[in-house]
Amino acid sequence: MKTNNTNIKMKLDTSPKNYGDILIEAKDVEVIFNLRGKKLKALRGAGLVLRSGETLTIVGESGSGKSVLSKTLIGMLDKNGTITNGSILYRGVDLARISREEDWLTIRGKRIAMIFQDPMTALNPLKKIGEQIREVIVMHCGLDARASRTAALEMLEKVGITDPERRYEQYPHEFSGGMRQRVVIATAIACNPEILICDEPTTALDVTIQAQILELIKKLQKDMGLSVLFITHDLGVVAKMADKIAVMYAGQVVEEGSVEEIFYDSRHPYTWALLASLPQLGVKGKELFAIKGTPPSLFKEIQGDAFAPRNPYALQVDFYHEPPLFEISPTHRARTWLLDANAPKVEPPEIVVKLREHLKKTTGR
């Protein structure tokens, strides 16, 4: 909302009880970017619910709006973007209506922390590792020089960096990619945030390091009671990390549910397509399934279901009317006309059914 919101007095309700276990509830978020006069609608009414202590992963093809949605949660949309509709409730405050930087400073990094994709570039190359952690602690926890140094050393230890005293004095170029991501994580959680947003934190790392970082995030989540919003386009990572999954397509969440619900009982054809394209779980001898066609241009107003042109199960109605979110269970919802009472009965493709069995065997979930 760009309208007269400058005078909103921000009052963060920090008492634990009032909001049940729902930490963040984003509804109908619409984000428009202005690109040299052209408008690009990156989010078209996206929503999500993040519950205390759980990991919600957002999956979807690149360009589906995962990063944009997560950036709205810490007020870090690029300058040319605005939230034009919707709300993001967090402890009694609508984050979508915060406009003053000062207000964000009490949330960003302190209560909601975020790490990004590339650890190689996320740290200041000319500043000692330790100092980069310490500056957050000084800023948000108000510790003095000595105490903040000790706290920074503790954080280094906590993320599995050996010999923290020596490492504290080193510069980023003396660290490997995996080690840098550990430092980035240490920085992010230095002030005990309650929410950690990870935007593809392992995409730039090689597979073994990736597994270590995922383990670390899981461990920290347990130890510190973090709620994690984990963005990835890798369903294999999802299977490892998620409690809940939100599937995004063209600026909307098209299906959301628990891991079990998405992997074993998904309803949206786009989710099926994603599952079928999962390389790690690919069925031997069968060609990897790729989703045909390209996502729609977000510069134009989309009519009907955005996935319809690529959807082999598309109904006539999909091309004219946007489907609502149908509720399948209290935690499971999907945005497809296939769930309408009048829709014909369809089964997910064979490959997805097979994958489910395969998944059961390999991950044990």
Ligand X SMILES: Nc1ncnc2c1ncn2[C@@H]1O[C@H](COP(=O)(O)OP(=O)(O)O)[C@@H](O)[C@H]1O
185 near another protein (CB under 8 A): no
198 near ligand X (CB under 6 A): no
29 strand-pairing partners: 46
171 near another protein (CB under 8 A): yes
Q: What's the min distance (Å) between Cβ of 332 and another protein?
A: 31
Q: 39 contacts which partner out of Mg ion, another protein, ligand X, none, CB within 5 to 8 A by kind?
A: none
For residue 88, give the amino acid letter.
I
113 near another protein (CB under 8 A): yes
3 near ligand X (CB under 6 A): no
- Of 55 and 70, the one with the shorter C-beta distance to Mg ion is 70
Query: Of these, 55, 67, 132, 148, which contacts Mg ion (CB under 5 A)?
Result: 67
256 strand-pairing partners: 246, 333
Site string for another protein, 59-78 (x = CB under 8 A): ---------------x-x--
- Of 5 and 121, the one with the shorter C-beta distance to another protein is 121
> Using CA atoms, how far apart are residues 200 and 246, in angstroms rounded to an integer?
15
Dihedral in degrees, nearest 10, Cα atoms 128, 132, 138, 144: -20
Our measurement of the distance from residue 147's CA atom to the centroid of its chain's CA atoms, rounded to an integer in Å, reads: 33
> Using CA atoms, how far apart are residues 43 and 298, in angstroms rounded to an integer?
9
298 near ligand X (CB under 6 A): yes
Q: What's the min distance (Å) between Cβ of 69 and Mg ion?
A: 10
> Using CA atoms, how far apart are residues 35 and 55, in angstroms rounded to an integer?
33
> Using CA atoms, how far apart are residues 75 and 112, in angstroms rounded to an integer?
10
119 near ligand X (CB under 6 A): no
Query: Of these, 184, 262, 314, 338, which contacts another protein (CB under 8 A)?
Result: 184
Count of residues that interact with ligand X, criterion CB under 6 A: 16
Count of residues that interact with another protein, criterion CB under 8 A: 32
Q: What is the DSSP string of 36-101?
A: TTEEEEEEEEEEEEEETT-EEEEE--TTSSHHHHHHHTTT---TTEEEEEEEEEETTEEGGG---H
To which H or E segment does residue 351 belong? helix 350-363
201 near ligand X (CB under 6 A): no
> Using CA atoms, how far apart are residues 271 and 283, in angstroms rounded to an integer?
18
Q: Which residues of 179-196 are buried (b: 16+ CB within 10 A; e: fewer)?
A: bbbbbbbbbbbbbebbbb
- The dihedral of CA 224, 23, 136, 145: what is its sign? negative
62 near ligand X (CB under 6 A): yes
Q: Applying CB under 5 A, which part among 62-70, 72-80, 318-326, 336-344 lies near Mg ion?
A: 62-70
Cα–Cα distance list, 56 to 50, 66, 238, 258, 341 (Å): 6, 12, 9, 9, 29
Site string for ligand X, 21-50 (x = CB under 6 A): ------------x-x----x-x--------
Provide the CB-side half-sphere exposure for 338 (13 A, CA): 24
Q: What's the min distance (Å) between Cβ of 139 and another protein?
A: 6
114 near another protein (CB under 8 A): yes
Count of residues that interact with Mg ion, criterion CB under 5 A: 1
Query: Of these, 110, 244, 267, 335, which contacts another protein (CB under 8 A)?
Result: 110
348 near ligand X (CB under 6 A): no
Residue matched to tokens 């929503």: 47
Q: What's the min distance (Å) between Cβ of 13 and ligand X?
A: 29
Q: What's the min distance (Å) between Cβ of 205 and Mg ion?
A: 16
- Interface positions, 72-91, toward Mg ion (CB under 5 A): none
Q: What's the min distance (Å) between Cβ of 125 and another protein?
A: 6
Reduced to 3 states, what is the DSSP secondary structure of residue 212? helix
Binding residues vs another protein (CB under 8 A): 74, 76, 101, 104-110, 113-116, 118, 121-127, 135-136, 139-140, 171, 173-174, 184, 187-188
Binding residues vs Mg ion (CB under 5 A): 67
